[in-house]
Amino acid sequence: MPAYPTDQSDGIAAALGTIDSNSPVSEVTRRLLDLFTSGSIEPGTRLPPERQIATNLGVGRSAVREALAALEILGIVSVRPGSGTYLRGLASDLLPNTLSWGLLIGRERTGELLEVRAGLEIYVARLAALRQNERELERVEKALDQMRASTDDLKAFAKADRDFHDRLAAAAGNGLLVDQLDVVRSLLQVYANRAVQTTEDALIAQAEHEAIHAAIRSGDDDAAASAMAVHMTTASRRIAAAGD
């Protein structure tokens, strides 16, 4: 039984949650893609109207319109004039559609994406340490608190982990960098959601995030970059293993 029957668009809109991002179009696209590839929505489901999605996400309708246009190009959704926008295919079919653009075909491409992500995340950590955006760093710490509280709930831990990196990217203060990371993370998300398999994995990841946070809080950009490099090594290894 699908989580959202074809006529229950309210459930889809509510599941998306609100967005707090400097790059609303890329964040809307990522949020929709994550939901569509989760397997919880039946193929052929009609999506909520743009206005409803925009209201739930807390963004303008233009951001939703651009995100849906991008997903239509990728073959994720289909737009039927006078009827609405519909999800195409099963979750297992959707990801290969996006990957057919040459972004993530085979293990070699997955490895290349992991390398790109590592480089971007390391630079994010360095910038966050240098720029010391107090408001965003407080939000990073809240995400870390959630990680500490959810090492026995791996689904909640994965969300807190994602929030930590999202908020750290915002603290770096570079919108283009955020956009690039959003794309890479979305393409890896199908593996990343399965990467932390045990409480032991979660505790290791938590300790790595603690080290990153401490270095950034101290304003030591070299230490922050080094701590993120350590984390990216272990995280990339887990993600690559999840894709085997």
Domain architecture of the chain: domains with CATH: 9-97 (1.10.10.10), 106-242 (1.20.120.530)
pLDDT in tens, 103-159: 444 556 778 888 999 999 999 999 999 999 999 999 999 999 999 999 999 989 988
pLDDT in tens, 13-62: 666 666 655 567 777 887 887 787 777 788 889 999 999 999 988 888 98
pLDDT at 127: 97
Query: Three-state SS across the chain?
Result: CCCECCCCHHHHHHHHCCCCCCCHHHHHHHHHHHHHCCCCECCCCECCCHHHHHHHHCCCHHHHHHHHHHHHHCCCEEEECCCEEEECCCHHHHHHHHHCCCCCCHHHHHHHHHHHHHHHHHHHHHHHHHHCCHHHHHHHHHHHHHHHHCCCCHHHHHHHHHHHHHHHHHHHCCHHHHHHHHHHHHHHHHHHCCCCCCHHHHHHHHHHHHHHHHHHHCCCHHHHHHHHHHHHHHHHHHHHHHCC
Higher per-residue pLDDT: 238 or 24:
238
Q: Is the pTM of this model over 0.75?
A: no
pLDDT in tens, 197-218: 899 999 999 999 999 999 999 9
